[in-house]
Chain A
Amino acid sequence: MPSKSSDTRPRASWGLKLAALGTLLFLHVPIWIIFLYTLTPDETTYTFPLPGFTLKWFGVAWQRADLWRALTLSFQIASIATVIALILGTLAAAAVYRSNFFGREAISFLLVLPIALPGIVSGIALRTAIGGLDIPFSFWTIIIGHATFCVVVVYNNVLARFRRTSVSMIEASMDLGANSFQTFRHVVLPNIGTALLAGGMLAFALSFDEVIVTTFTAGQQTTLPIWIFSQLSRPRDRPVTNVVATFVVMITFIPIFLAHKLSSSSADTEGGNK
């Protein structure tokens, strides 16, 4: 359907198009360069053009037990932090949506704080508090830290969905004799389902590659980002790092892409009804 707006939409000048393309390439080309470097046979430098091509580093990385441990740890942490964020974020969103009570703004502010303040502030604050209480730094202290900044992601997604869900649906369900639990199960949950999925995936991606807060809340644990960080300051396994970096891009790309698709496609259909 050729929409009317596309006919009247102004044409961009070549200068603007080129500048936009330039910014787009600047955002993406550096990542492609990492992909390219996974193929280099060169172990000690980042020589370009690559002196040859090899696929052996994928095999080498696969054999590394320390990488598997780091990956498993990051996966466990991100999963648990996401579950906590899903529960707390949904509850907060439901409360803010349900009623207009005093201090609503303060709640949003409190939830946004962990991502509005520089990560180092959250990191050192948590370290000071945990250390001050003589709690040993462990797997669980990492999760406690991650959950603080994952909650807001779920909260934002779910609240946006709640605002697009009409209250009359819930009232209709109650009028037709469903109790609160049935209404939640059959009306509310299907409605916010994709928002939960989208928020959950973003929270997972956020936790999966968080490094700043993690360096302060971890004990001896090495998460995957901490492993990469150690390679950034003192590169020892350059080719393996290239493979790991490529893997991280791939594994975070999928949930981010899907989350975006989920939240934007439903936004379009909802917007169409207005």
Chain B
Amino acid sequence: MLNRISTYFYQRPRLVLALFLVPPMLYMAVVYLGSLFALLINSFYAIDDFTGMVIREFTLKTYGQIFSPANREIFMRTAGMATAVTIADALIAFPLAYYTAKFASPRLKTWLVIAVTVPLWSSYLVRVYAWKLILAKEGILSWFINLLNLNGPLDWLLSLPGIGGSSLSLSPIGMFIVFMYIWLPYMIIPIQTALERVPASLLDASSDLGAKPLQTFRTVILPLAFPGVVAGSIFTFSLTLGDFIVPLTLGNSKFFIGQAVYSYQGTAGNIPLAAAMTMGPVVIMIAYLLIARKLGAFDAL
């Protein structure tokens, strides 16, 4: 009996393929794409100003609201933060990625890869929480700064308009450090992957042809690592754009996109505005992905 069934399916590979494909695709298409579609539809609805109820009629009014000066400022602030975090992560990720890919012994490399992978998968919330302890006024960082007599420079940094605040944990600088920290593994891994693919013979060729180590680094290694940086930046940028945990935990009362969406749908109950607001990150990310594909980032993923 089983043999008969087996033969039946063996002779119909298309049917088997369909049987394999239907459950996962149905699930993803209905649940996920369906939800995204519902979100898109809702962004074209508007809320009645008096009753607070959603009016289910097509309108562009809600999209008009997201271009209000206050919301424009939120977009600019979030995009600025995402850019700063991405650049900083690329800079501090590079040495570790470069060392792991090109210099570490195989044994050490295994451990280094684990040391980067574990934080990537492990609790995001706990890692944010760690910084609440570190940045607290009475916490370890203040103690350390006191010990090194760096209170003057810190106060100067905190007095800067735009990025300063009353303390590190209540300022954009604090948020910047935490964002940089939590997304760092997402930058290290693609850069390392990209560098891993640079064959040793290419570097040998470069030095055989008379290039100094620094020249090889600048003209061979850096350009070949760049797609990795772009691949990593997709994550650091996208994750910063959509995050609302860090701005709610640290930082001052100025809104970021994620936080605005969270409060529009929650306390304000304005789903259409929240939906329209999330279309911002979606559009930015799609544009970003298209550019990244041109720069060859997908091969480094």
| Chain A residues within 8 Å of B, Cβ to Cβ | 3, 5-6, 8-12, 16-17, 19-20, 22-24, 26-28, 30-31, 33-34, 37, 45-49, 87-89, 91-92, 94-95, 98-99, 101, 107, 110-111, 113-114, 116-122, 124-132, 144, 147-148, 151, 155, 174, 179-181, 202, 205-206, 209, 211-212, 215-216, 225, 228-229, 231-233, 235, 241-242, 245, 248-249, 252-253, 256-257, 260, 264
The interface residues of chain B lying within 8 Å CB-to-CB of A98 are 13, 16-17, 20
Q: A20-B96, A128-B39, A248-B123 are in contact. Are A94 and B20 (CB under 8 A)?
A: yes
CA distance A33 to B135 in the complex (A): 12
A88 touches B282 (CB 8 A): no
Q: A20-B100, A144-B31, A211-B125 are in contact. Are A116 and B245 (CB under 8 A)?
A: no
B35 touches A16 (CB 8 A): no
Q: A118-B239, A120-B242 are in contact. Are A228 and B184 (CB under 8 A)?
A: no
The interface residues of chain B lying within 8 Å CB-to-CB of A130 are 35
Interfacial residues of chain B within 168-215, with CB under 8 A of chain A in the complex: 181, 184-185, 188, 200, 203
Q: A98-B13, A209-B126 are in contact. Are A46 and B136 (CB under 8 A)?
A: yes
CA distance A55 to B274 in the complex (A): 45
Partner of A129, one of B3, B34, B103, B282: B34
B31 touches A206 (CB 8 A): no
A245 touches B129 (CB 8 A): yes
Give the one of A23, A24, A98, A130 with max B CB within 10 A.
Answer: A23
B36 touches A125 (CB 8 A): yes
Would you give the shortest CB distance from A172 to chain B, in whole angstroms? 15
CB-CB contacts of B1-44 with A at 8 A, as 1s and 0s? Answer: 01101110110010011001101110111011111101100100
Q: A101-B17, A209-B124 are in contact. Are A179 and B6 (CB under 8 A)?
A: yes
A48 touches B278 (CB 8 A): no
CA distance A55 to B130 in the complex (A): 19
B110 touches A125 (CB 8 A): no
B122 touches A249 (CB 8 A): yes
Would you give the shortest CB distance from A198 to chain B, in whole angstroms? 11
9 pairs, CB–CB < 8 Å, chain A vs chain B: A3-B106, A8-B200, A20-B96, A28-B115, A33-B134, A110-B28, A128-B39, A148-B28, A180-B10
The residue of chain A having its C-beta at the shortest distance from the C-beta of B301 within the complex is A112
B127 touches A31 (CB 8 A): yes
Interface size on B, residues (CB 8 A): 96
In the A-B complex, list the 4 residue pairs whose CB atoms are closest, starting with the nearest: A118-B242, A179-B6, A19-B95, A95-B20
The interface residues of chain B lying within 8 Å CB-to-CB of A19 are 92, 95-96, 99
The interface residues of chain A lying within 8 Å CB-to-CB of B29 are 110
B275 touches A124 (CB 8 A): yes
B35 touches A126 (CB 8 A): yes
The interface residues of chain A lying within 8 Å CB-to-CB of B28 are 88, 110-111, 148, 151
Q: A110-B25, A124-B265 are in contact. Are A45 and B138 (CB under 8 A)?
A: yes
A256 touches B118 (CB 8 A): yes
The interface residues of chain A lying within 8 Å CB-to-CB of B133 are 33-34, 37, 46, 242
The interface residues of chain B lying within 8 Å CB-to-CB of A229 are 125, 245
CA distance A151 to B23 in the complex (A): 12
The residue of chain B having its C-beta at the shortest distance from the C-beta of A177 within the complex is B3
Partner of A30, one of B7, B35, B115, B181: B181
The interface residues of chain B lying within 8 Å CB-to-CB of A256 are 117-118, 121-122
The interface residues of chain A lying within 8 Å CB-to-CB of B134 are 30, 33
Would you give the shortest CB distance from B40 to chain A, in whole angstroms? 9
The interface residues of chain A lying within 8 Å CB-to-CB of B265 are 124, 127, 216
Partner of A88, one of B6, B24, B188, B271: B24
Would you give the shortest CB distance from A174 to chain B, in whole angstroms? 8
20 additional A-B pairs beyond A9-B102, A88-B27, beta carbons within 8 Å, are: A11-B103, A23-B96, A33-B140, A45-B136, A47-B138, A89-B24, A95-B24, A107-B21, A110-B33, A111-B28, A113-B32, A118-B242, A118-B258, A124-B39, A127-B265, A128-B271, A129-B39, A209-B123, A228-B125, A245-B123
The interface residues of chain A lying within 8 Å CB-to-CB of B124 are 209, 211
Q: A11-B103, A124-B278 are in contact. Are A92 and B96 (CB under 8 A)?
A: no
The interface residues of chain B lying within 8 Å CB-to-CB of A6 are 105-106
The interface residues of chain A lying within 8 Å CB-to-CB of B32 are 110, 113-114, 122, 125, 148
A232 touches B132 (CB 8 A): yes
Partner of B39, one of A3, A88, A91, A121: A121
Interfacial residues of chain B within 59-98, with CB under 8 A of chain A in the complex: 92-93, 95-96, 98
CA distance A9 to B105 in the complex (A): 9
Partner of A132, one of B38, B105, B125: B38
